[in-house]
Structure 1
Amino acid sequence: MLGSMPPSLKIVGFDTFLVRPRWLFLRIDTDEGITGWGEPIVEGRAETVRECVHTLMERLLGADPGRIEDHWQRMTKGGFYRGGPVLSSAVAGIDQALWDIKGKALGVPVHELLGGPVRDRVRVYTWIAGDSAAELADAAVARKEAGFTAMKFTPFQATPHVPAAAQVKEAVGLVAALREAVGDDVDLAMDFHGRLSPAAARRVLPLLEPYLPMFVEEPVVPELSRDLRTVVEASSVPIATGERLYSRWDFREVLATGIAVAQPDVSHAGGISELRRIAAMAEAYGVAVAPHCPLGPISLAASLQLDFATPNFLIQEQSLGIGYHPGNALLDYLVDPSVFAFSDGYVERPVAPGLGIEVDERAVREAAERGHAWRNEVWEHPDGSFAEW
């Protein structure tokens, strides 16, 4: 039942936690004992984002946490210099925590505050990896047997501007082997990670058409977004992009290029408030939304709240099995990890207030004592020049 916000609710404190494998968590406290959690992070730049969070929070201490939109506008525009992944990720984590507080204060999950659920469960996909077609196929079959109906992998490693025939054929061969291993009742997605040039993407994508991928993600780097139309028009393969776009203004040009799937990240693109707007913009272009989320439990929880209230939602990424860390780190910081129980490739609608999770603060504080300094790899081509990771 919808309650009411305490009339004098005020933000009285906050804390940030660097936790392994590569995440940053934020806790915001109020004078009524209601706390909110967020996940502001740029992977590999966690310390930088942390400092930005501390700067932004200076003006929020003593403020009403329920004025989410007002805070969002002031955080994103009040510093005169705007935009970029560090600022938008810091804003994103704060925004998540404010929605968490508001949902808890009102006694409802956040998706109820976004118009209510439009579905009863959300489809998720998993990652697979391997050093050969056989290893990838074995991993895919194992994920299928575990109940997943969609999976994603990366077929290209460091790729020159014009990849050799052997590299192209190897990548296409991996896709063919996976399709044969799992059949047609499993959706396959490929993440190119921006490793191809527009010309290379136009050559490769038509070769993938017989295997009917669900989508190909980030065929080119975001700096080349204006060239996406030529990539889209090169084949019938659905194109997805957006993990490195940080606002609705970044998406404005991209949505008009004919992409099939927008992939904003709730911890990078301004939080729940901005992803809600990006999703609505995407709907006007007939574009589905599949939020990017190779991150931690708070980011996934925030993504799911959006998914349940977003009509043009397609599928949700999650980090179990992603390969950046051993074990089940996604679940290690939750009091009750069953909220992320996947059954037949779906997760059920959360009903707890706020983001729908209870963060294990003891585990978070213990992890923060160790901290981390995670950095992504920097790749090189055989000639020693820089290669996209």
Structure 2
Amino acid sequence: MEELEITKVELFKVPPRWLFVKITTKGGLFGWGEPVVEGKADSVAACVKELEQYLIGRTANNIEDIWQVLYRGGFYRGGTILMSAISGIDQALWDIKGKHLGVPVFELLGGAVRQRMKMYCWIGGDDPKVVIEQAREKMNQGYRAVKMNATGPMRWVSSIKDIKKVADNMRLLREEFGYELDVGLDFHGRVHKPMVKRLIDELAPYDPMFIEEPVLSENNDALKHIYSYTSIPIATGERMLSRWDFKDVLQQGVVDIIQPDLSHAGGISEVKRIATMAEAYDVALAPHCPLGPISLASALHIDFSCANATIQESSLGIHYNKGFDLLDYVKNPEIFDVKDGFMDLFTQPGLGVEIDEEILKEGQKIGHNWANPIWRNDDGTFAEW
């Protein structure tokens, strides 16, 4: 396996807010990964460089042992930066292994359980004036499901007037599209526990596909009160980083859909384990993915190989993607075509996404300094974004 010895690790920070890693072996095979935290790309890049000492000279085939060393070998474990760095490295190693063996990654995860994957994309939701236009645009692109923010900035206890505004977008979508369009609502951790039930009361008549992150993950203990209050499926997990983070919510039975992110939750190796844990609790999987093409491809290989995967997020056209969008760095964008709401099973070896390095290097010259917006309430207090 000398030809699979890792010889080089390269990083590319590119707009709109992404970080790619390319891992190359002595035999010339290479794999791509997407190790990034939105707003913390430089921190993750530094972490990847620190982890490089555990990669150079290793055989790229030994994915599981490398994962264990990267996770456990530094004594201090977990955290968003480390787990995101591991995630991108892990994706690249699976890409190499699939290319080496000449098969798509999902074949190495047990094979396909489906021939196509249901997709959804983002339509914003902060402004009722544009949701109809955006939803129609997405339907014309082939989508039959979308997600939007439920709210803008929220105080710990908001006024009744603000609460009543929340349902307007859902009402407009139902009046325009009926039930031909599935709509997920993202509370985005913006809503504090005192307001969640009131918001659910306003939204329930319009039958959301799910409610995402009704509270921040550090307040997951509140889910037991929320879960028993509504029949709307509860989804969470984009800020949860490993099987150990998901263990409690699964054991407590307070979630219907888990949403680990392939660029934050330990990559393909760990998300496959998380998905299997969730299946044992009869919980569905819908990987979070507001990022780039490598992260999306990685998520789809998980979806193709997991029976409990139900729907997949795509960042195509998301409002963060200014200047460069999901397909701009991809030589074979057709693999991400959506037809009648679904994306077809991949057929190419590895992750199946071919990165255009010339365009990537042009993007690297531009770079980015993307950061989360800082919101404040009308009294000047910090508001969760």
By the TM > 0.5 criterion, same fold? yes
Aligned residue in 2 for 1:62: 57
Q: Helix, strand or coil: the match of 1:47?
A: helix
Deviation at residue 285 of structure 1 after TM alignment: 1.2
Aligned residue in 2 for 1:376: 372
Q: Deviations over 1:333-357 (max 9, x none)?
A: 1111111111111111111100011
Aligned residue in 2 for 1:312: 308
Change over 3 Å in CA distance of 1:191–1:130 after alignment to 2: closer
Deviation at residue 327 of structure 1 after TM alignment: 5.9
Aligned residue in 1 for 2:118: 123
Is the CA contact (8 Å cut-off) linking 2:164 and 2:202 kept in structure 1?
no
Is the CA contact (8 Å cut-off) linking 2:5 and 2:26 kept in structure 1?
yes
Deviation at residue 59 of structure 1 after TM alignment: 1.6
- Mapping 1:278-317, distance limit 5 Å: 278-317=274-313
Is the CA contact (8 Å cut-off) linking 2:125 and 2:149 kept in structure 1?
no
- Mapping 1:12-51, distance limit 5 Å: 12-51=7-46
Deviation at residue 141 of structure 1 after TM alignment: 2.5
What is the percentage of aligned positions where both structures have the same residue?
Answer: 49
Q: Distance in 1 between matches of 2:150 and 2:254?
A: 23
Instruction: Indicate whether 1:77 and 2:72 are aligned.
Output: yes
Instruction: Indicate whether 1:209 and 2:204 are aligned.
Output: yes
What is the letter of the counterpart of residue 119 of structure 1? R
Instruction: Indicate whether 1:363 and 2:362 are aligned.
Output: no
Is the CA contact (8 Å cut-off) linking 2:16 and 2:323 kept in structure 1?
no
Change over 3 Å in CA distance of 1:252–1:130 after alignment to 2: closer
Q: Deviations over 1:1-27 (max 9, x none)?
A: xxxxx4652001110000000000000
Q: How many residues align?
A: 384
Gaps of 5+ in 2: none
Instruction: Indicate whether 1:345 and 2:341 are aligned.
Output: yes
Instruction: Indicate whether 1:185 and 2:170 are aligned.
Output: no
What is the root-mean-square deviation of aligned Cα atoms in Å? 1.3
Instruction: Give the alignment partner of residue 275 of structure 1, picking from 271, 276, 282.
Output: 271
Q: Deviations over 1:296-343 (max 9, x none)?
A: 011011111111001000110011121112366110111111111111
Is the CA contact (8 Å cut-off) linking 1:206 and 1:237 kept in structure 2?
no
Gaps of 5+ in 1: 1-5
Instruction: Indicate whether 1:163 and 2:161 are aligned.
Output: no
Could you tell which deviates more after superposition, 218-227 or 263-272? 218-227
Q: Distance in 2 between matches of 1:283 and 1:247?
A: 16
Q: Helix, strand or coil: the match of 2:335?
A: helix
TM-score using structure 1 length: 0.96
Q: Distance in 2 between matches of 1:199 and 1:380?
A: 19
Instruction: Give the alignment partner of residue 99 of structure 1, picking from 84, 94, 103.
Output: 94
Aligned residue in 1 for 2:106: 111
Q: Distance in 2 between matches of 1:375 and 1:142?
A: 28
Q: Helix, strand or coil: the match of 2:167?
A: helix
- List, as ranges, runs of 4+ consecutive aligned residues in structure 1 with deviation greater than 6 Å: none
Q: Helix, strand or coil: the match of 2:235?
A: strand
TM-score using structure 2 length: 0.97
Q: Helix, strand or coil: the match of 1:331?
A: coil
Q: Helix, strand or coil: the match of 2:24?
A: strand
Q: Distance in 2 between matches of 1:102 and 1:143?
A: 35
What is the letter of the counterpart of residue 352 of structure 2? G
